[in-house]
A = this chain, B = another copy of it.
Amino acid sequence: MEIQTVLTAPGIGDLREMEGFFRVTPLDRVFALAKDFGVVETEHIPIMEAVFRILAEPIVAATDLPGFARSTMDGYALSAASTFGASESNPALLEITGEIRMGKIPEKRINPGEAMRIATGAMMPEGADAVIMVEYTEEIDPDSLEIYRSVAPGTNVIAKDEDFKQDTLALKPGTRLRPQEIGLLAALGHTGVHVFKKPRVGIISTGDELCEIKETPVAGRIRDINTYTLSAMARAAGAQTVSYGIIPDEFEPLLDACKQCLSESDMIIISGGSSVGTRDLTLSVIESLPDAEILVHGIPVSPGKPTILARAGGKQLWGLPGHVTSAMVVFNRIVKFFLESLSGMDPSFTREFSIPARLSRNIASAKGRIDFIRVRLYPGEDGVLTAEPVPGKSGLIRTMVAADGLIEIGMNTEGLEKGEEVAVIPI
């Protein structure tokens, strides 16, 4: 089935009617579908390799952390009561009974009127409940310490369970492991950890106009960009990707590629031409897959309206528009959320922060759809971060290269005004 067949065979009148059936699915209903696809399997990997992976098991503190009271300062361990009333004019005099070796158990206990030298990080001796900093003391001889300030119990000490108490839930499954969570795993003695596997994303580009990037395209052809942008975005979102190459706009080859991809991937992304013909081809191929169901055909988003989401064999298939910018915007705003869900990420970690900026000029927008406008950011004359819309058609890669982010214009908004504060989503 080729594009011109569509333009002639159903007839332009039929096409007009088909547009009527092209009903968009509200985005909240689209996002609600993510939970229907489950999550990938898990694997056990060294924690050093686990940064930004998604935790697949609860982590419970097996012991108190740090497990013993530690000094947080260089100074003298003592009983706080021995310092009460001490001042510059009326110093307390304590006996220095020794020093605590770093990493060792203190050799003796502290009694009232006694102090031991202690360094930052060393273990507190029994009987001591505070550390006084070197700065507030003076050794008048090797055995005698003058103290010029009183300290409260607990001063400059980390209690034995101050980081984590034994049996506390330290990390929940679904946590995205930042460097600090890797550190916590290390602190609790985990050399390896169960994480969700990286989802396998299969990427198919369709289009008789496409050629491999290593080729010099003849007139009428362009290189296949989407395989590269979508693979890069999927990898940046934590997936592993396999490219299934460029498939011509024909039923059988596309069906075969989809079947192979289904058997090998957790998610399939087909980026098609942006013509009605190629969209219909993608749809009829998806409908021919075993156990297939079209869930979404059309979203109220520009660019990106002709997006398709389907399920086949329990896996998700996306049909993204062929225009490079449209495909990237839909990936960023929608597919990424599904990928994170598939990755086992708890929704509380999927949050995304936007950057406030001041809009440099008016932007018009149609009601009834969400517009995503590419903007570049720069500091304005008064230092306020300014968002300047990047002009250009959605088939141009340079508009995405020039852009620092996207701004969203809501369904019920007819446009934004120059000087308005906008929230910029980094891309």
**Contact residues, A170-192 vs B (CB, 8 A):** 170-171, 178-191
Per-position contact with B for A380-421: 1 when CB-CB < 8 Å, else 0? 000000000000110111101101000000000000000000
| A158 close to B (CB within 8 Å) | yes
| A366 close to B (CB within 8 Å) | no
| A238 close to B (CB within 8 Å) | no
Q: Which residues of B have CB within 8 Å of A199?
A: none
* Given the contacts A74-B275, A228-B186, A398-B164, A102 and B222 also touching, CB distance less than 8 Å: no
How many positions in chain A have a CB within 8 Å of any CB in the partner chain? Answer: 115
Q: Which residues of B have CB within 8 Å of A152?
A: none
* Given the contacts A51-B235, A401-B184, A189 and B216 also touching, CB distance less than 8 Å: yes
**Contact residues, A122-175 vs B (CB, 8 A):** 122-123, 134-135, 137-139, 142, 158, 162-164, 170-171
Distance of A103 Cα from B215 Cα, bound (Å): 14
Q: Which of A79-87, A204-212, A255-263, A311-319 touches B? A: A204-212
| A72 close to B (CB within 8 Å) | yes
Partner of A397, one of B183, B216, B274: B183
| In contact, A232 and B275 (Cβ under 8 angstroms) | no
| A15 close to B (CB within 8 Å) | yes
| A21 close to B (CB within 8 Å) | no
| A35 close to B (CB within 8 Å) | no
Q: Which residues of B have CB within 8 Å of A47?
A: 213, 228
A-B contact list, 15 entries, CB within 8 Å: A2-B101, A12-B139, A67-B222, A70-B222, A102-B209, A104-B208, A121-B209, A170-B398, A170-B401, A182-B232, A183-B229, A185-B228, A187-B213, A187-B222, A353-B426
| A32 close to B (CB within 8 Å) | no
| In contact, B121 and A207 (Cβ under 8 angstroms) | yes
* Given the contacts A184-B398, A236-B51, A105 and B164 also touching, CB distance less than 8 Å: no
Distance of A182 Cα from B232 Cα, bound (Å): 7
| In contact, A183 and B400 (Cβ under 8 angstroms) | yes
Per-position contact with B for A11-40: 1 when CB-CB < 8 Å, else 0? 111011001000000000000000000000
Give, as a whole number of angstroms, the nearest-CB distance from A352 to chain B.
Answer: 10
